Amino acid sequence: MKRKKKRARRGGRDSRPVLLNDDEIQAMREAGHLAASLLDDVKNYISVGITTEDIDRRIAKNTEDAGAISAPLGYRGFPKHCCTSVNDVVCHGIPTPSKELKSGDIVNVDVTPILKGFHGDSSRTFEVGDVSPVAKKLVSNTYRALWRGIRAINIDGFTGDIGNAIQVFAEELGYSVVREFTGHGINRIFHTSPTIFHYGASGKGEAISPGMSFTIEPMINLGHWKTDILEDGWTAVTRDGTLSAQFEHTLVITPAGPEVMTLGADEVPPF
């Protein structure tokens, strides 16, 4: 996800969204499909005792085998192929051999392969071993929050409709929505316009138009929404130490409506 920035930059998230043609949409489909297959594989691989470094190595190998490259590696100095965010880590956790997964953990794995020049960006939060009912509910409701956002997209609507739907859904359940990180436009560029807020008012933001491509990636906390960044300059944690979950899909607005490019092989949308 994208760190909220204060100043406008050319070609950045405050410029007009680029609209993709049919060939470019097809390339987004292929990159998105690869991101989904990387996560389908991780889903089977996750188990008690593996390290987040093990996950990173697996992503690295499968990405290379697919003829793609990992966008996170070297992105603003990020050192690994994917982000692995455990428990109170909100996002941008750095894989490391010292982080072993234990029963009861929840871990978000966020991948972004670049295939034929286009990015597919997706993340899921996985359960490790036996997870508490509270954590299970947070994970499943965060997944539902993502789909609430997707279902709020209207060809005549605005990007603000997405965040509003997510915020209303999450807050009714007593959760909070992280504010410091957003979804983002994505194409040949990893993070570009439009910014997709996961909270706010409907009818605000950019008008939805065919050819737009962006991510939706809500981070939902059990406690307060505020985050801190650790000394490594990347790892975002909940300030109050409570659990946080996240799911992310890359979408393109086609003339027929929103198309989710990063659908899992067995993924059945909840609504």
Asked if 105 interacts with ligand MF3 (CB under 6 A), we say no
Spatial CA neighbour of 252 closest among 148, 145, 119: 119
Spatial CA neighbour of 46 closest among 38, 55, 37: 55
Binding site for Co ion (CB under 5 A): 1, 110, 121, 123, 215, 248
Among 24, 56, 110, 161, binds ligand MF3 (CB under 6 A): 110
Instruction: Give the helix/strand (H/E) hosting 214.
Output: strand 213-216
Among 217, 219, 250, 252, binds ligand MF3 (CB under 6 A): 217
Among 112, 221, 238, 244, binds ligand MF3 (CB under 6 A): 112
Q: How far is the CB of 93 from ligand MF3 (least distance, A)?
A: 9
Asked if 193 interacts with ligand MF3 (CB under 6 A), we say no
* Binding-site partner at residue 31 among Co ion, ligand MF3, none, CB < 5 to 8 Å by type: none
Contact 227, 239 (CB under 8 A): yes
Task: Find all residues with CB under 8 Å of 223, minimum gap 6, and list them.
Answer: 176, 238, 240, 241, 242
First to last CA, the chain: 24
Interface with ligand MF3: number of residues (CB under 6 A): 14
**Binding piece for ligand MF3, criterion CB under 6 A, among 8-16, 29-37, 69-77, 97-105:** 69-77
Among 56, 88, 105, 121, binds ligand MF3 (CB under 6 A): 121
Task: Find all residues with CB under 8 Å of 183, minimum gap 6, and list them.
Answer: 1, 2, 162, 195, 196, 197, 198, 214, 215, 216, 217, 248
Asked if 260 interacts with ligand MF3 (CB under 6 A), we say no
Asked if 92 interacts with ligand MF3 (CB under 6 A), we say yes
Residues in the chain: 271
The four Cα atoms 201, 206, 208, 212 give a dihedral, to 10 degrees, of -130
| Nearer CB in complex with ligand MF3: 5/76 | 76
Asked if 84 interacts with ligand MF3 (CB under 6 A), we say no
Residues that bind ligand MF3 (CB under 6 A): 1-2, 72, 75-76, 78, 83, 92, 110, 112, 121, 217, 234, 248
